Amino acid sequence: MSSKKSITTYAKALFQNFKVSNSNVPKEVDLSDIGKIILREAKTKSPDVFFLGEELLLVRALILSSKSINEFFQNPTYSEHQKLDVLFSIFPGLTLSFQSFLKVLAEKSHLSLLPEISLEYTKILVNFRNSTDVKIYVANGLKENYGVLLLNTLRTVTNSKEIIVSAFYNPKLLGGFILEYNSKSIDASILKEFSFFLTEG
């Protein structure tokens, strides 16, 4: 199995095992050993898909925090058991469910895939919550009273219930804005209009 396919399978399987409801379940996921990792702490304290996502992000941040740590997890000369010990010593409070997931990855020698699994899992959560990441590039700062209007407009444009906005300042735009979401781009900047005017002349 290719590493890309493994990453996707692990992320989908982790999500499927702990999803909130039975809807939106990927039918094609082969759970294999992942189905055996369910070690729920207690019925009332069982982690949900979002909590597990936060644990994945923590581990990802650790692995990518420095070149030496990243190289340690990528280096096959270190045993998976050593890598697991490092994770458990740094994060002693990980849920039993997530610890079990890490042990499955260690058995398959796939702990090095954790950063990519985290990114894939985050994509699944974004779709599950019907949220959209939106980048907005502006020439001037956004005024506070634009917030509600902007969010409502973005919800309509993206057809999402939740919008996660990242704003970037780019004075070269001269005015207006550029929106990027779901691999789409809307350029309503003055720079674009100005460039169009120059090419027409």
Rounded Cα gap, residues 111 and 113, in angstroms: 5
Q: Give the pLDDT band (50/70/90) at residue 78.
A: very high
How far apart CA 20 and CA 48 sit, in angstroms, is 7
Q: Give mean pLDDT, residues 42-56.
A: 68
Any residues with CB less than 8 A from the CB of 69 and at least 6 apart, and which?
62, 63
Measure Cα distances from 26 to 13, 22, 168 in Å: 9, 10, 35
pLDDT score at 90:
94
* DSSP 3-state of 7: helix
77 versus 166: the higher-pLDDT residue is 77
CA 33/CA 30 separation, integer angstroms: 9
119-130 pLDDT tens trace = 999 888 877 777
Task: List, for residues 176-190, the tens digit of each pLDDT value.
Answer: 778 787 778 888 777
Structural tokens at position 96: 């039993």
Higher pLDDT, 197 or 153: 153
pLDDT at 107: 93
For residue 102, pLDDT beyond 50: yes
